[in-house]
Structure 1
Amino acid sequence: MAIITTTANYRDGETLLEALVAYDDSLTDYRPAVLIHPTWSGRDGFVAKKAIQIAELGYVGIAVDLYGKGVLGSSPEENAALMQPFIDDRLLLKRRLMAAYRNAKIMPWVDGHAMAAIGFCFGGLCALDLARSGIDIKGVVSFHGMLHAPDDIKTQPIKAKVLVLHGNDDPLAPREDVTAFEQEMTAADADWQLHAYGNTGHAFTNPALNDRDSGFYFQANANRRSWLAMQNFLAEVFS
């Protein structure tokens, strides 16, 4: 087995974007694809590693670009400035997400009828918004993602199965947001589940973070358990 990585350019209007694509070149047939939505810093090394790990599971891993080719944040202030326009305008975010989705469907290794999406932090919100858009996608997984529904878009009938992997002490997804999300998914008659990890804050999958005062820190057990939960979920939705 050899995992190959390459890049694929695509556009959202005038914005040039660049996805990173990872796949196992020992497989010769079409295979399911998993869109991987990054944290607020953009399509960086963290999400590239996740694409490779997804490819090792036998899928095509596609690390989505949200900000533009070569655009990355290098500090919390830059990250916030890059992310905030999409938080403020979820229609803009939806358009950007759909550009990545359409690009992925036509990739040569991808079974366009077997696609899923995952995301981390801001990317978790992105994965959930894909489900809320009503597109034909098998499932979405949010890792320590923000949960609040958009105010400017009506949720469409949700076709995707939904898995939320949540730190119980996450300051970016407080209890009221969790309750509202549960009510939203139930009202939409979605096939949804939420796993809450105790004594766990935000960004629990990122070994580079250890700021317990802010609630942003790595939690090894939650990281391991959430990745296993995702694997089981993908096996189910692609079966």
Structure 2
Amino acid sequence: MRQALSGLLLTCSTLAAADIQTREIPYTAEDGTTMVGYHAYDDTIQGPRPGIIVVHEFWGLNDHARERAREMAKLGYSTLAIDMYGEGKVAEHPQDAKAFMQAALQNAETTRSRFMAGMELLQRQPQTDPRRIGAAGYCFGGRVVLEMARQGVPLAGVVSFHGALVTRNPATPGAVKARVLVEHGAADSMVTADDVAAISAEMVKAGVDYQLVSHPGAKHAFTNPAADENSKKGLDVAYNKRADERSWADMTLFFKRTFDD
């Protein structure tokens, strides 16, 4: 009995000692741009585990994206918050953020090459199972992960949080390899009802394993606690604790089911 109790205490102590390791990793995109990735993982987990790419909001690779990467690492994933703008650029003003975003989206090949550079970096990490990769994107990043799914990038699943849903290249039957989850704010003035209807029709027509969750009263950027402060910059955004927590729970279950199948 004493030995069993001792073993239990040791196990509890080990669990309590779980620690999330983080580090910045420089890498280079195909176009020669220097990028900065933020890798997070639980070092008490032995061996490779599924990887999740985190794609930032239109502000750039800021604290929100890094915090989400750490939280996903706590779920048992090897996570990499990637840099879509280059050199870790982060905007403070909406005009700068919009300019960064438009430059990253202007050329579809640039967008894809920067995403793939981050994906390949994550796959090379010893903590990552390179055959099991998912992606989660916020705002601008939500659009990016949806576009990568549409293009047939070999991802197990993608989750878009308050992302733009419009596209110039709709998914075609058989092209999408990933499961798709869209977490949408019902009060998001940046996404129209027509946009929501269009992506749903697109995904159904393309035969995608797809789900859209609409959160009542949630505005754009509902997962970011800094959204309330950012609203003072002329943006129709707001943090919504309930939508944030519920969408996180949806994502947690989504990736668990995706990687367990």
For Structure 1 versus Structure 2, the TM-score category normalised by the shorter chain is: over 0.9
TM-score (norm 1): 0.95
Aligned equivalents of 2:60, 2:152: Cα separation in 1: 25
Deviations, residues 181-226 of structure 1 (Å, cap 9, x unaligned): 1111112110000000111110001112223985310111101100
1:73 aligns with 2:91: yes
Uncovered stretches (5+) of structure 2, i.e. residues with no partner: 1-17
**SS in structure 2 of the partner of residue 216 of structure 1:** coil
Looking at secondary structure, tell me which structure has more strand per residue.
1
Q: State, as a whole percentage, how many aligned pairs show the same letter.
A: 34
CA distance in 2 between partners of 1:173 and 1:102 (Å): 31
Q: Is residue 169–residue 215 contact of structure 1 (8 Å, CA) maintained in 2?
A: no
Instruction: List gaps (5 residues or longer) in structure 1.
Output: none
Asked if the contact 1:42–1:66 (Cα under 8 Å) also holds between the matched residues in 2, the reply is yes
Residue 34 of structure 1 deviates from its aligned partner by: 0.5
Would the aligned equivalents of 2:79 and 2:122 in 1 still touch at CA under 8 Å? no
Aligned match of 2:12: none
Q: Normalized against structure 2, the TM-score is what?
A: 0.87
Query: Structure 1 residues 139 and 102, CA, compared in 2 at 3 Å: closer, same or farther?
Result: same
Task: Tell me how far 1:91 sits from its aligned partner.
Answer: 2.9
Contact 2:41 2:74 in 1 (8 A): yes
Asked if the contact 1:124/1:145 (under 8 Å) is kept, the reply is yes
Between Structure 1 and Structure 2, which shows a larger proportion of helix residues?
2
Does residue 228 (structure 1) correspond to residue 246 (structure 2)? The answer is: no
Deviates more, 1:193-202 or 1:89-98: 89-98
Distance, in Å, in 2 between the alignment partners of 1:206 and 1:89 is 28
Amino acid at match of 1:139: G
State which structure, 1 or 2, has the greater radius of gyration over its C-alpha atoms: 2
1:135 maps to which residue? 153
Q: State the partner residue of 1:184.
A: 202
2:50 maps to what in 1?
32
* Aligned counterpart for 2:236 among listed residues 189, 206, 215: 215
Partners of 2:195 and 2:209 lie apart in 1 by 19
Rounded to whole Å, the distance in 2 between the matches of 1:55 and 1:32 is 10
Q: Considering only aligned residues, what root-mean-square deviation do their CA atoms show, in Å?
A: 1.6
- The answer to whether the 8 A contact 2:57-2:137 is kept is yes
* Number of residue-to-residue matches in the alignment: 238
| 8 Å Cα contact 1:124-1:144 kept in structure 2 | yes
